[in-house]
A and B are shown apart, each in its own frame.
Chain A
Amino acid sequence: MYYSNGNYEAFARPRKPQGVDQKSAHLIGGGVASLAAAAFPISDGQMAGSRITVYEASSITGGCLDGIKDPVEGYLSRSEREMEDHYECMWDLYRSIASLDVEGASVLDDFYPINKD
């Protein structure tokens, strides 16, 4: 395993791994670990998304990163996570995921100013 240091490596896409077009990914469990493991083969490993399947026991992905809106019973969240600015792998993931709220922004782009102001 080679750990990168800065922009020189962060912004260079790696070469396409050998044989990646013949491989399939089976992700058992649909929490954030699995979802991230499904995203990196696409963004970095250059695997076709159609070769990746996520299996999840419950009816919704995300595991404990949950948030149910129920106007009758009240909002449901089973717990809460703390996040910090040095979560390198997490922010590397979310700078390549599009925000659902702000057009043209990544989840990170949307998150960053909220926590700055």
Chain B
Amino acid sequence: MVRNYDRINAQPPEGINEKRAHILGGGIAGLAAAAFLVDDAHMPGTNVTVYEASGTTGGAMDAAGDAETGYKPRGHRELHASHECLWYLCGKVPSIHTPGATVLEETYDVNVREPIRSNFRLMARQGERHEVTGPLMSAEDGRKMLDLWLTPEEDLDGITLGDWFSPEFFNSVYWLCWSTMFAFWPYHSVMEARRYMLRYADLTGSNVGALEGILHPKYNEYHSFTLPLHKWLESQGVKFRTSTSVTDIAVSEQGGETVATGVTLRDADGEHRLQLTRDDLVFFTNGSIVQNATQADTTTVATLNRDTADRGVFTVWEKLAARDPRFGNPAAFLSDVDKTNFYTFMATITGDRTFHDHMEAKTGSKGSTGGMLSVVDSNWKLNLLPLGKYHPDQPADVHVLHGYGQLSGVPGNHVEKPMRECTGAEVLAEVLYHCGLKGKIAAILEHSKVHTAALPYITSQFMPRKISDRPKVIPDGCVNLAFLGQYVELPDDVVFTVETSVRTAMVAVWGLTGLEKPMVPMPQPYYDVRVLADNVKMMTGTDITADTLHTLVEGGSGREATDSEAPTPAPTR
């Protein structure tokens, strides 16, 4: 729990005015690091430079395109009230849309007025509701889940969800709701899944289908989060060098300490080397979930990029890791794009309310307030996210629908091609078919611009791994080098959230500057007995009692805990 007592402004760390920060990667992790350096660690803004390979900052938190040609974000992030580090950051940043408010206040206000609550979480049979009541999983899988909670993660190296649960688990209501929220698949790491089950135990207990606690930005992630943060950092003197990529980082051992001594950068003028001293702090985002993304539009196909020679920051990480095992093992995550890719799409529909009226009538939710809707009998495993006002300049007659398909390599149910071979128009046709609008496909397509994105590494951070496959935020011995983003080991934390990126930035800044400020603790909802009781009841079908607790403690395993009494199917809300 975050205590008010720990919300101090700490004194400037010794020598901070003489230090410089080189932030390699301008995604949310890098931008957050710049903000914490300037605002918490008192580093002069002019001492901070952000280097970004692409032409814009924000990384995956993007929103390119416009109403006329269609919006084209590559993905969508889920936000949650327990994202302590993110909201701490957003509390600093002035909104660019709401005068006098911070980004946090703007987000807070929109979620008070338009809270997300799903009334129609799962869909099947061309537009029918698939009920989320009844037993969420079998008694056997409930026992296996309890066993997973009670197994230390040191025992889970390299194990997949498919290894752990029975085949039926992957058809259970729990799996259909849970896996689509976070984009898990049975070949992903059970260690990572366990972290999610614990970290979000309050969100994914017996009420897993409701999506209560998921928050949404006022507009899109770029205009609501990235751009205000970028502008505020500029006003603090922080320098940005876009279209500048890092190609290598030199590290040397000096008297038992590890020092980053140089960074090689490439821009339009060629390669440059920055010589570094111990006073140069390097913050390196060593992976990107949108690395080697390709995009296409209504009439073209986004080709899955399988190149392994140039993978941007992943390639730099590979070079570092090849020299020193402390920097992790990128191969664990980057070796199978057939398993780590998925495809996203964004449909921009102008002057035709058919789709949105149809979905509003079906779900009872307006704008973005229904949250995600997953199509359980879709071959592509489609997930749909109808959105409200997505762009600040969006005309009133323009409506948008975002979504993704978890399986890009199998033919659709209506369009007889894999998603990865489809144009934007074909993707939208498949979506409309599943929504029960088969007869209106041609008419709606006339009003639609569709952009698709092929993301080869979007779930790579979920691949089976050992703890040591990811570097620590500050690897042992490093005095001026930190790792940020989704491919970094933070004890107990999950990956694939905005919060993860921001937390790595916070840990890195506190650590490398020596700031004497308490670190925001990891949320641990599973220590709340109400959350624990709800989850145990979901898994075992029994109310938590002193006896249950006693057995859990004594036995250390859910199998023993429930074998003595025949579990009844888990009741739900």
Residue total for A at the interface (Cβ-Cβ under 8 A): 27
Residue pair B3, A85 in contact (C-beta under 8 Å): yes
Residue pair B3, A112 in contact (C-beta under 8 Å): no
Cβ proximity bits B70-96 to A, threshold 8 Å, 1 near / 0 not: 000000000001111101101100000
Residue pair A12, B91 in contact (C-beta under 8 Å): yes
Query: Within B325-351, which residues are at the interface with A (CB < 8 Å)?
Result: none
Cβ proximity bits B2-15 to A, threshold 8 Å, 1 near / 0 not: 11111111110000
Complex Cα gap A5–B105 (Å) = 16
Give the Cβ gap from B361 to chain A, nearest Cβ, in Å. Answer: 32
Which residues of B are found within 8 Å of A90, using beta-carbon distances? 4
B427 within 8 A of A: no
Of A54-62, A73-81, A102-110, the one with at least 4 CB within 8 A of chain B:
A102-110
Residue pair B2, A113 in contact (C-beta under 8 Å): no
Residue pair A12, B3 in contact (C-beta under 8 Å): no
B529 within 8 A of A: no
Which residues of A are found within 8 Å of B82, using beta-carbon distances? 5-6, 8
Which residues of A are found within 8 Å of B215, using beta-carbon distances? 8
Which residues of B are found within 8 Å of A72, using beta-carbon distances? none
A95 within 8 A of B: yes
Residue pair B4, A109 in contact (C-beta under 8 Å): no
Residue pair B9, A105 in contact (C-beta under 8 Å): yes
Which residues of A are found within 8 Å of B11, using beta-carbon distances? 105, 113
B64 within 8 A of A: no
Which residues of A are found within 8 Å of B108, using beta-carbon distances? 8-9, 12
Which residues of B are found within 8 Å of A7, using beta-carbon distances? 2, 84-85, 87-88, 91, 520
Which residues of A are found within 8 Å of B109, using beta-carbon distances? 12, 15
Which residues of A are found within 8 Å of B4, using beta-carbon distances? 10, 87-92, 95, 108
A23 within 8 A of B: no
Complex Cα gap A92–B537 (Å) = 37
A3 within 8 A of B: no
B511 within 8 A of A: no
Find B516's partner among A10, A92, A105, A113 (CB 8 Å cutoff). Answer: A113
Given the interface pairs A11-B104, A12-B105, A12-B108, the reply to whether A112 lies near B84 with Cβ below 8 Å is: no
Residue total for B at the interface (Cβ-Cβ under 8 A): 29
**Cβ-Cβ contact count across A and B, 8 Å cutoff:** 82
B1 within 8 A of A: yes
Give the Cβ gap from B443 to chain A, nearest Cβ, in Å. Answer: 42
B162 within 8 A of A: no
A69 within 8 A of B: no
Residue of A8, A11, A88 with most chain B CB atoms under a 10 A cut-off? A8
Residue of B5, B7, B90 with most chain A CB atoms under a 10 A cut-off? B5
Complex Cα gap A104–B87 (Å) = 23
B409 within 8 A of A: no
Residue pair A91, B7 in contact (C-beta under 8 Å): yes
Residue pair B523, A6 in contact (C-beta under 8 Å): yes
Residue pair B3, A8 in contact (C-beta under 8 Å): no
Given the interface pairs A12-B91, A12-B105, A113-B516, the reply to whether A6 lies near B9 with Cβ below 8 Å is: no
Given the interface pairs A15-B109, A113-B516, the reply to whether A8 lies near B7 with Cβ below 8 Å is: no
Which residues of B are found within 8 Å of A109, using beta-carbon distances? 8-10
Query: Within B515-536, which residues are at the interface with A (CB < 8 Å)?
Result: 516, 520, 523
Cβ proximity bits A1-33 to B, threshold 8 Å, 1 near / 0 not: 000011111111101000000000000000000
Which residues of A are found within 8 Å of B9, using beta-carbon distances? 104-106, 109
Complex Cα gap A95–B520 (Å) = 16
Give the Cβ gap from A43 to chain B, nearest Cβ, in Å. Answer: 13
Given the interface pairs A8-B81, A11-B91, the reply to whether A87 lies near B523 with Cβ below 8 Å is: no
Give the Cβ gap from A65 to chain B, nearest Cβ, in Å. Answer: 18
Give the Cβ gap from B218 to chain A, nearest Cβ, in Å. Answer: 13
Complex Cα gap A88–B104 (Å) = 21
Which residues of A are found within 8 Å of B84, using beta-carbon distances? 6-8
Question: Which residue on chain A has the smallest CB distance to residue B516?
Answer: A113
Complex Cα gap A51–B388 (Å) = 41
Complex Cα gap A85–B11 (Å) = 19
Residue pair B3, A88 in contact (C-beta under 8 Å): yes
Residue pair B5, A8 in contact (C-beta under 8 Å): no
Complex Cα gap A68–B565 (Å) = 68
Complex Cα gap A104–B520 (Å) = 22
Find A108's partner among B2, B5, B105 (CB 8 Å cutoff). Answer: B5
Residue pair B7, A10 in contact (C-beta under 8 Å): yes
Give the Cβ gap from A94 to chain B, nearest Cβ, in Å. Answer: 9
Residue pair B83, A91 in contact (C-beta under 8 Å): no
Which residues of A are found within 8 Å of B10, using beta-carbon distances? 109
Complex Cα gap A89–B90 (Å) = 22
Which residues of A are found within 8 Å of B523, using beta-carbon distances? 6
Residue of B8, B9, B85, B523 with most chain A CB atoms under a 10 A cut-off? B8
Given the interface pairs A7-B87, A10-B2, the reply to whether A95 lies near B8 with Cβ below 8 Å is: yes
Which residues of B are found within 8 Å of A12, using beta-carbon distances? 87, 91, 102, 104-105, 108-109
Complex Cα gap A12–B104 (Å) = 6
Given the interface pairs A5-B81, A86-B3, the reply to whether A13 lies near B105 with Cβ below 8 Å is: yes
Question: Which residue on chain A has the smallest CB distance to residue B92?
Answer: A11
Cβ proximity bits B95-112 to A, threshold 8 Å, 1 near / 0 not: 000000010110011000
Task: Identify 21 residue pairs between A and B in the complex whose beta-carbon atoms are under 8 Å apart, listed by A's number.
Answer: A5-B82, A6-B1, A6-B81, A6-B523, A7-B88, A7-B91, A8-B81, A8-B82, A12-B109, A15-B109, A85-B5, A85-B6, A86-B3, A86-B5, A87-B5, A88-B4, A88-B5, A91-B3, A91-B7, A105-B11, A108-B8
Residues of B within 8 A of A (CB): 1-11, 81-85, 87-88, 90-91, 102, 104-105, 108-109, 215, 516, 520, 523
Q: Apart from A11-B87, A104-B9, what are 13 other A-B pairs with CB-CB below 8 Å?
A: A5-B82, A6-B523, A8-B81, A8-B87, A8-B108, A9-B81, A11-B88, A11-B90, A12-B87, A12-B102, A88-B3, A108-B8, A109-B10
6 cross-chain pairs, A with B, having the tightest CB-CB distances, nearest first: A11-B91, A91-B4, A12-B108, A8-B87, A7-B87, A91-B5
